[in-house]
Amino acid sequence: MLQNIAIGQYVPGHSFLHRADPRSKLLFIILFATLVFLANNTVTYAVLVAFTLYAGLLSRLSLGYILKSLKPVWILIVFTIILHIFLTKGGAVYFQWGWFTVEERGIQQAIFISLRLGLLVVISSLLTLTTSPIDLTEGLERLLGPFGRIGVPVHEIALMMSIAIRFIPTLMEETDKIIKAQTARGANFTSGSLVKRAQSLIPIAIPLFVSAFRRAEDLALAMEARGYRGGVGRTRLHKLAFSWRDAGIAAAGVLLAITIGWWRA
C-alpha cells in the first residue's frame, strides 16, 4: 500500500537539466525566486513564463509530470485569484452588482500573484524532478560549506538528510506492516469521527517511534564500526563538477536578471 511511494519526485533521465550540477540549479532557483518577486508588469511576467516553459522543455519531462507538481497548491492558487478579484480595487470597473465590483487592478493582481506562485512551484519541481535526492544533498552540503566556518554543522545536516533519504522507504514499509498488524487485531483506521481516527493513529505511531529509536542506535554503532568520526578528513565518492551546462545556466541567470531589471515598472 505504501510501497510504491517514490522518494522525492526524481525522474531519472539524461536531459540538459538532469546533467547540470545541482549547485548551479540550486543557485539559479534562488535567483529566479528573487526575480519572480521583482516582476511587476505584463512584460516581466511574460518573460518569466516564457523562460519557465523553455526550462520545462529542457528537462524533457512530459507536461503531465510538471503540472502534477501544481496539485498540492492549486487550492491556494484558486483562493488567491478569488481573493484578489473580490477585494483588490482600482482602475476601470468591469462589473458591478450593488456594492460588489470587479475592477481592473483586481483582475491584474489575481493573474500576477497566481502566476508568481505557479512559477515558483514549477521551477522548484523542475529541480526535484531532475535531481536525485543524493545529488541534491551533495549540492546543498557543498553550497553551505562556507557556513561551516561560522559553526553551522553542515556535514551533520547533510548526513542527516541522506540518512533520512535512506530510511524513508524502510520506515514506510514498517508503517505498512504495523497498520496491517493492528488491523488484524481489529483496529479501524478508515471510519469514525476525526478525533477517533486521530486516536487510532497512536497504536501506529508508538511502535514506529520505538523501532525508529532502535534503528538509530543500531545505525550509530554500525557507522562507528566502519570508522565514522565526523566530517573532518572525510572524502566523498561523488565529486561534483561544473560543465558547460552550468556556464549556460549562469548565462541564462544573468540575462534573465538584466531583462527583468530593465523592463520592470
Query: Per CB under 8 A, which of residues 227..256 are in contact with another protein?
Result: 227-229, 233-239
- The helix (H) or strand (E) run that includes residue 156 is helix 154-184
The least CB distance from residue 235 to another protein, in Å, is 5
Residue with cell 469514525: 192
What's the closest the beta carbon of residue 51 comes to another protein, in angstroms? Answer: 32
Q: Give how far the C-alpha of residue 117 lies from the chain's centroid of Cα atoms, to the nearest Å.
A: 13
Residue 150 Cα to chain centre, angstroms: 27
**Choices 15-23, 78-86, 93-101, 158-166 (CB under 8 A): range interacting with another protein:** 158-166
Residue with cell 557507522: 223
* Residue window 7-46: x/- pattern of binding to another protein, with contact defined by CB under 8 A: x---------------------------------------
Closer to another protein by Cβ: residue 96 or 218: 218
Is 223 an interacting residue with respect to another protein (CB under 8 A)? yes
Q: Which of residues 78-137 bind another protein (CB under 8 A)?
A: 133-134
Least gap, CB of 216 to another protein (angstroms): 8
Query: If we measure between CA atoms, which residue out of 171, 151, 160 comes closest to residue 214?
Result: 171
Cell of 172: 514506510
Contact between 204 and 179 under an 8 Å Cβ cutoff? The reply is yes
Burial (0-12, 13-18, 19+ Cβ within 10 Å), 229? exposed
Give the binding site for another protein (CB under 8 A).
Answer: 7, 133-134, 162-163, 165-166, 169-170, 173, 214-215, 218-219, 221-229, 233-239
